[in-house]
Structure 1
Amino acid sequence: MMAQLQRPPPLSDFRRFQTFDVDAARDIVARHFCSHKLERQSSDDRFDACQHRVSGEHVSLNYLRYGGDVTIEPGELTRFFLIQIPLAGAADVTNGCQAVASNSQTASILNPDRHTVMRWHSGCEQLLVQIDRQFVDEVASRVTGMDLGARLRFASEFLLKRPEARQWMRKLWGLVRAAENGELFGSGNSPRQNRLEEELIVSLLGVQENTASALLSRETSQSGSAILKRAVDMIRDRMREDISLIELARHAGTTPRNLQLVFKREMDLTPVQYLQQCRLNLARHILLARNGEISVSDVAELSGHRHLGRFSLAYKKRFGESPKATARSRVFC
C-alpha cells in the first residue's frame, strides 16, 4: 500500500531556521520573541528545532518545534500575548498561577505580565500567534467604547472544542492560508491586513474569557436608534462623572421622559440602571486585572462610584460575590 502523503508544516515557505544546536535555537527564537532559558530534558531524544514565521503590523504567525523534550522559561513576555496551539504532541504550560495541559484540543494563552514556564514534550509542534499587547488593549477599548483602566488579561486555558473556539480557529487558518498564498503578511501592511488582524482580536475577545468579559457581554440595542446611541456613547465616555438625566437627554436630542421610554423599550433598563451596570462591569474588569494590587475603594473611585458601601452591595447583587472576593480570585492571576 502506498504511504499516505503528509501535509508539510504551515508556513513552510517562510522558514527562519532549522538547527540541531540548542544554543543556536535559543538565540534565534529570542530575536523574534524574548530572551529565555531553553534546556533539553533528555540527551537520548533528537533535538531538531525549526521555526517558520510571517509578520504583520501587530500580529505574527509562527510554526515552531524543538523535536526533543525541552523546558522553556521566558519569564514575563512583557510586550506581547502568545497563543500556542499544538498541532502535534503536548506541552505543560504555567502562566502566573494558571496551569494548562496543552494538546490538540487545548491551546494556551500567555499573558505578558505573568511569569511563564513551559515543557514541550518530545514531538510537540505548535502554531503560535504573537500579538502586540498594546494592540490588544487598544482593540478592547474600542470594542467596549471606554478606557478600561487596567491592562486586559485572558484565561490561559483555551478550549478548542467549543463551537465558538472552532469558529475562531477557522479565522486563524484563513490568515495562515492567505499568508502562504502571498495575499497577506507581505512587505507592505495593507488596510486589509490591518482589518483582518483587528477582526481576529475582536473575535478572540468574544470567544475567550478575559478580565473585560463583563464589559463585552453588556446589554446592547439592536434597533440602531440614534437617540439611544448618542446616550450610550455619552455614558461610556463619561461614566466616571456625575451625569444627570436632563444632561443625558439634551445630549441625545430628546426629552428626559422619551429617553427613559427608549431605554426601557430597547434595553429593558432605565438610563441610570444602564450607567450603573457599566460602572459595575468596569469595576469587575479592574478587580480581575489587578489581582489585589489595588484597594477596593480605589477601584470604586476609578469606576465612577462615590459611595463605597453602596458600591459593594450593588456589586455583590450583580456578580454574586463581594469586590474583595473578586480581588482574591485566582482566575487571571
Structure 2
Amino acid sequence: MLKRFPLFSATDVDEHRARAQTIIPEIVRLEQLRPGRFSSTVEAIMLGEIHTGTAIASVGHTADLEVEAVGRRTVRLLIPTTSAISISSGARSREILGGGVAGLLPSNPLRLRYTPGHHLVLRIDRDKLDLALQAMDCDAEVDRILDAVFFEPRLPGLQDFAEHLRRLIATIDDKPARVLDQAMFRRAHEQNLVLRLADILALVRERGSTTVGRNSAALRRAVEYIRAYAERHVDLVAMARHAGLSLRSLQILFRANHDCTIVQFVRRHRLMLARERLERGEPETTVAEIARRSGFTHLGHFTAAYKEAFGEQPRQTLQRARRKPDP
C-alpha cells in the first residue's frame, strides 16, 4: 500500500524513532519492547500541508513497539490490518486486534502499543475539520468528542469510512503520477475525507457518545486463534473452546467490537495477508499461490472478494509491485 510514496525505512529502532519524531513531534518516547531484529517501512501521501495537513500513511514494522505521545493538534484515525494496537490514557484503555478495524485516537496524552505487522494512519487537518463541523451546525469541540469516544470502533459510519479510505488507497496505488500530482485531485479527496469524518463526529455529538467496556479476554483469545490459523482451516468450534465461550457469545462479541461476523473477520484478515504478499512483488510467485497461502481455497472467490475490498484485481497489485524499482 502506498509504496509509490516512500517516506523512510529503518533497520534499527533508534533510526525509526528519530525519523518518526521529525514527522510527528508529539512523540516523546518510542521503544522496542523485546530484543531482536528490527526493520520498518513507512509510506505516505500528503493531501494537504506537509507537517499538519491531511495525509495517509502505511506503516509496517517487525517488532513490538511502545509509543508515548502528548496532545495533538491533528486528528488521527488508525487502522491496524495485521498488527494489534492498544492505547491507554490515565485509567482508560482499549485495544483493536487487527483485521482492518478502525479507531480514532483521543487528543489527550496517551501510550500506544503496536504488535509487529502493518497498520494505516489517516491524519486530518484539525482546522479544516473544525470548519466542516461548523458548516454542519455542530458547535462541539473536536477534542471533547475524540476523548469521549476513546478509540471506539463502533461509531456509526466509522467502519464504512475506513473502507472508503482503503478504496482510496487502492485508487492512489493505481493512478498515474500525472493525475496524483494534480493539486485538484488531492484537494478533492482531502475535502471528501474531512467532510465524511466531520459527519461521523457530528452524529456522535447528536446522539451522545457510545459507551463500551474493555474488549473481553475471550475476544482476544479468539482473535489470537484466528491469526494463528488463518492460513489454514479455522475451526470455529476449536476457536470457541480456546476462547472459553460459546460460538453464539463470541459472535455477539465480534459484532459489538468489530462490526462483523466471525467469518467476515477471518476473511478480512486473510485479504490483508494476501495484499501484503502481493505488494512484495516476488518474481516467482503467482496470484493463485498467494491466495492459497493466505487461506483461500477458491481462486475465483478470492479474486472477487479482493476486488470488492481494494478496488482492483489481485494481479494488478502484483504487476504494479513488480514494476517498482528496488529501494
TM bin (shorter chain): 0.5 to 0.7
Change (3 A) 1:209 1:95: farther
Instruction: Tell me which of 113, 117, 135 is aligned to 2:111.
Output: 117
Distance 2:21 2:60 in 1: 14
Distance 1:99 1:210 in 2: 23
CA contact (8 A) 2:3 2:43 kept: yes
**1:99-130 deviation per Cα after TM superposition (whole angstroms, max 9, x unaligned):** 22112254331233x00211112x23110001
Aligned-pair distance for 1:14? 1.4
Unaligned runs of 5+ in 1: 1-9, 216-333
Aligned-pair distance for 1:98? 4.3
Aligned-pair distance for 1:53? 0.7
Instruction: Tell me which of 3, 19, 27 is aligned to 2:10.
Output: 19
- The amino acid of 1:213's aligned partner reads E
SS at match of 2:136: helix
TM score, norm. by length of structure 2? 0.54
CA contact (8 A) 2:106 2:151 kept: no
CA contact (8 A) 1:206 1:213 kept: no
Distance 1:96 1:133 in 2: 24
Aligned-pair distance for 1:65? 2.3
- The amino acid of 1:203's aligned partner reads R
**1:151-177 deviation per Cα after TM superposition (whole angstroms, max 9, x unaligned):** 4432232427x8833422232122212
Which has more helix, going by share of residues? 2
- The amino acid of 2:58's aligned partner reads Y
Q: 1:182-193 alignment to 2 at 5 Å? A: 182=175, 186-190=180-184, 192-193=185-186
Aligned-pair distance for 1:92? 1.1
Change (3 A) 1:118 1:203: same
CA contact (8 A) 2:76 2:121 kept: yes
Q: 1:185-224 alignment to 2 at 5 Å? A: 186-190=180-184, 192-207=185-200, 212-214=205-207
Other-structure match for 2:160: 167
Alignment of 1:107 with 2:109, yes or no, is no
- The amino acid of 1:40's aligned partner reads Q
Instruction: Tell me which of 106, 119, 139 is aligned to 2:132.
Output: 139
**1:209-246 deviation per Cα after TM superposition (whole angstroms, max 9, x unaligned):** 7763359xxxxxxxxxxxxxxxxxxxxxxxxxxxxxxx
Larger Rg: 1
Alignment of 1:49 with 2:40, yes or no, is yes
CA contact (8 A) 1:82 1:128 kept: yes
SS at match of 1:31: helix
**What is the root-mean-square deviation in Å for CA atoms of aligned residues?**
2.8
Distance 1:96 1:55 in 2: 32
Change (3 A) 1:108 1:120: same
Distance 2:77 2:18 in 1: 21
Change (3 A) 1:158 1:203: farther
Instruction: Tell me which of 106, 116, 127 is aligned to 2:120.
Output: 127
SS at match of 1:172: helix
Change (3 A) 1:36 1:49: farther
Other-structure match for 1:292: none
Q: Percent identity?
A: 16
Other-structure match for 2:320: none
Change (3 A) 1:143 1:175: same
Alignment of 1:63 with 2:55, yes or no, is no
- The amino acid of 2:30's aligned partner reads L
Q: 1:1-333 alignment to 2 at 5 Å? A: 10-34=1-25, 35-43=27-35, 45-57=36-48, 58-77=53-72, 79-95=73-89, 98-105=92-99, 106-112=101-107, 114-121=108-115, 123-144=116-137, 148=139, 150-152=141-143, 153-154=145-146, 155-159=149-153, 164-182=157-175, 186-190=180-184, 192-207=185-200, 212-214=205-207
